[in-house]
Structure 1
Amino acid sequence: MEQSVQIITVSTQDLDAARGFYVDGLGWQPLLDVPGEILFFQVAHGVALGLFDAVKFAEDLNTTDVTGPAGLTLSHNLPGPDEVDRLLAAAERAGAEILKPGQRAAFGGYHGHFRDPIGLIWEIAHNSGWAVDPDGTVRIGLIEA
């Protein structure tokens, strides 16, 4: 199997809350919005995030057991600490719960966490050791002091 991910799909009990948070609150533009079923956003080059109504998600999988992994976070890296603080504040205004305000991180950068209205946890970070080459290759190096 090729080491690749194009779509990350997350089940949600409240698709309308997800739409309100991401579209109305944060201003994201949907790739596809099927009310009562699924909402897709492009989140990176060639990568989409799907938020799927829990009932429809279970039907699509032909199962009633849709439990998934615990401890999942989605991370967004920004150019600096000020941008981290601004995005955390915007997320809170849009209805997110701040789990960890912006602060110096153990890895040497700066970060904070929020939980969106459907339960997804986001890390908003500035990590100077993170870089993406023009061809999409990720480089993770040492953090600036």
Structure 2
Amino acid sequence: MEQNVHFITFAVADLDAARRCYVDALGWRALLDVPEEIIFLQVAPGVVLGLFRADKFNQDIADGADRATVSGVTLSHNVPGPAEVERTVEALRRAGAVVLKPPQPGEFGGIFHAHVQDPNGIVWEIAHNPGWRVEPDGTVVLG
């Protein structure tokens, strides 16, 4: 198997809240939005974030268990500077996200960041990391 990921899918209890948070508040464009089912957002070259209504998510797996919970996962979004961290966190807060850690210098790695939880429980780190960059070929450089 090649070392890559094409889709990251989360079960969400409230698809409309997800739409308000990502599409309305952040201005992200939906690659595909199937009302009452799923929203696909292209989040990087070749990578799609799927927000799948929880009951449909469980129906798709079809093993009889509730697989629609998220725990111990953080998605990170890196921005050009501390002011953009603050603006992004505020936009998410206005859209119903809960600020878990307000914008501040990080304890690890010299970053400036915050943590927010979207209306469906997905935790995001919004960060400015001066050691982070993406090369023209897509390779990520850390440090």
CA distance in 1, matches of 2:18, 2:63: 23
Structure 1 residue 26: deviation in Å? 2.0
Q: Deviations over 1:99-138 (max 9, x none)?
A: 1111000121100011111111100001111111000001
CA distance in 1, matches of 2:116, 2:51: 17
User: 1:3 aligns to what?
Assistant: 3
Aligned pair count reads 141
The 8 Å contact of residues 70 and 121 in structure 2, kept in 1 or not, is answered as: no
User: 1:27 aligns to what?
Assistant: 27
Structure 1 residue 64: deviation in Å? 2.7
Tell me whether 1:52 sits opposite 2:52 in the alignment. Answer: yes
User: 1:88 aligns to what?
Assistant: 89
User: 1:120 aligns to what?
Assistant: 122
The one-letter amino acid of 2:44's match is A
The one-letter amino acid of 2:141's match is R
User: Could you list the runs of 4 or more consecutive aligned residues of structure 1 that deviate by over 4 angstroms after TM superposition?
Assistant: none
CA distance in 2, matches of 1:56, 1:63: 13
CA distance in 2, matches of 1:132, 1:37: 33
What percent of counterpart residues are identical? Answer: 58
Rate the CA distance shift 1:95–1:69 in 2: closer, same or farther, 3 A: closer
CA distance in 2, matches of 1:53, 1:73: 19
Cα RMSD, aligned residues only: 1.3
Residues 52-71 of structure 1 correspond to what in structure 2 (within 5 A)?
A: 52-65=52-65, 66=67, 70-71=71-72
Tell me whether 1:101 sits opposite 2:102 in the alignment. Answer: yes
Unpaired stretches in structure 2, ≥5 consecutive residues: none
TM-score by length of 2: 0.93
The one-letter amino acid of 1:51's match is L
The one-letter amino acid of 2:114's match is G
The one-letter amino acid of 1:99's match is L
